[in-house]
């Protein structure tokens, strides 16, 4: 559990990052066409949604830290990090780094399938069969929706190409 001061600083930091994304990075680095038939297909739509969500979450964290009662003097829980948590975070970092490198080679759909499956395994999901099915079907469904219905090209890899 964070102290009130730390929670306040995290909230203000998230709001500052959201402001940077909304008013500097998106207008300066995302090319927006003049007329987009569906607003959700604009290149700036989803970054704006994420930016406004970050701003809202930062404001809620700041309000919570400001109006929350002071925490007790002693903390009963031991907040030290255990070895399995360190290994899991290391595996997550390696998985995300490998996904970043693999995207141009393998393609977005296949990389997302593999990363989602690895995340299901890393988190120790109660129903790994469902996680595996979702890891396969969700990226395929999104690929076919965006390519066939929305007409948006999804990055393909050099190894295996989808129709």
pLDDT band at 76 (very low <50, low <70, confident <90, very high): low
Task: Give the residue from 102, 113, 106, 110 showing the smallest Cα distance to 157.
Answer: 106
Question: pLDDT tens across 90-100, in order?
Answer: 999 999 999 99
Quick one: 32 exposed, middle or buried, by C-beta within 10 A (0-12, 13-18, 19+)? exposed
Question: pLDDT tens across 103-114, in order?
Answer: 888 989 999 999
Token output for 1: 């559990």
């Amino acid at each position: 559990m964070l102290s009130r001061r730390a929670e306040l600083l995290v909230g203000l930091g998230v709001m500052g990052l959201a402001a940077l994304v909304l008013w500097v990075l998106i207008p300066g680095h995302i090319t927006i066409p003049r007329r987009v038939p569906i607003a959700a297909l604009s290149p700036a739509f989803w970054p704006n949604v994420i930016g406004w969500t970050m701003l809202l979450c930062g404001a809620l964290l700041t309000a919570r830290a400001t109006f929350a009662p002071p925490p007790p003097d002693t903390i009963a829980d031991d907040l030290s990090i255990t070895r399995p948590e360190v290994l899991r975070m290391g595996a997550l970092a390696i998985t995300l780094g490998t996904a970043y490198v693999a995207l141009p080679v393998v393609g977005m759909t296949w990389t997302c399938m593999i990363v989602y499956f690895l995340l299901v395994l890393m988190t120790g999901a109660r129903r790994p069969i469902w996680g595996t099915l979702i890891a396969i079907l969700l990226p395929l469904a999104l690929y076919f929706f965006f390519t066939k219905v929305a007409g948006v090209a999804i990055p393909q890899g050099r190894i295996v190409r989808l129709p």
